[in-house]
Amino acid sequence: MGEQMIESRLSRLTDGGGPFSPLGEFDKTQLAISMLGEIEEIENLVRDRTSSRIEYQLALAVQNYSGWYVRGDERAPYLERVVAHLRKAIDAGECVDAKAELARILIEERLVRDLDSALKLADELKKTGQLPDCMSSTVEKAKRWSGKIDIPHDNNFSDLSSTPAAILEERTKLRKLMIDAAKAADVERAAVVAARLYNLGLLAAYLYGEWDASSGATSAAFDAATKKLRKVKTSFNFGYLGRIADAGFLSSTDYRRIEHALGSPSKTITVREIKAML
């Protein structure tokens, strides 16, 4: 069977609305049996003549199967197969998508988690400018989990993605660093981190208005935020201007810690005033 025909069969397995997806009133047990049988038949067909593209698609097919029809720790062997196919895709040729997906799985999937390997893959992609924007928050989370947090020294947000997930992860990271600095009684570090956390709050208000971080953002809001961030990512270096009255991105606890480190003027500032500053 030719590669084109194999890819056509794989497309039926990787399409979320394809014939093997658990939609409608079909017999889920029979769908699962049929899907796994199709995957295994293709795996056997390409065992000795595979390609990077086919291995990547096989990884997605097995991943779909494990997500649709397998639960709990029983997913482990299927996730291991996903990882194996992605590694084969990378070994068979340059496959940015496979490398990014492997990094994501090794972070997000507890059953196959390998943070060191994931961060190595992400670093390789970042060095060549190929790390997807949507991966930034996942990578930062892996650094936090592995104790490899990048400690900030200023308020330069050049490397920050405008995605809500990335901004939320930056907030989580800075909160942890604030707690660590307080435990260590490191006043100087606490001040640096507090300044960055506060400026992140200003930035979030500038990009997303009154967003309180309890939900995502629309595509239009994200696109607008991306354009804004390109213009101002090195400009948010303000002293403490007071609590942001009409935005809930920073909590009362955040403000207490920030004010302890930076001082606590009695005035407040609004989203409108923040947007007018730039």
Reply yes or no on whether the pLDDT at 66 is more than 70: yes
pLDDT of residue 27: 85
The whole-chain average pLDDT of the chain stands at 92
**pTM metric for this prediction:** 0.82
Share of the chain above pLDDT 70, in %: 99
Question: How far is residue 163 CA from its own chain's centroid?
Answer: 9
Reply yes or no on whether the pLDDT at 1 is more than 80: no
* Residue 235, SS3 per DSSP: coil
Nearest to 134 by CA among 169, 106, 110: 169
Residue showing tokens 């709050």: 201
Give the number of other Cβ atoms within 10 Å of residue 234's Cβ: 11
Nearest to 134 by CA among 107, 173, 172, 174: 107
Backbone angles phi, psi at 213, to 5 degrees: 70, 10
End-to-end CA distance of the chain: 60
H runs (alpha helix) in 15-162:
28-45, 52-69, 76-92, 96-108, 115-127, 136-145
pLDDT of residue 231: 85
pLDDT of residue 2: 79
DSSP H/E element including 243: strand 243-244
pLDDT, one tens digit per residue, over 103-126 is: 999 999 999 999 999 999 999 999
Nearest to 219 by CA among 274, 137, 164: 164
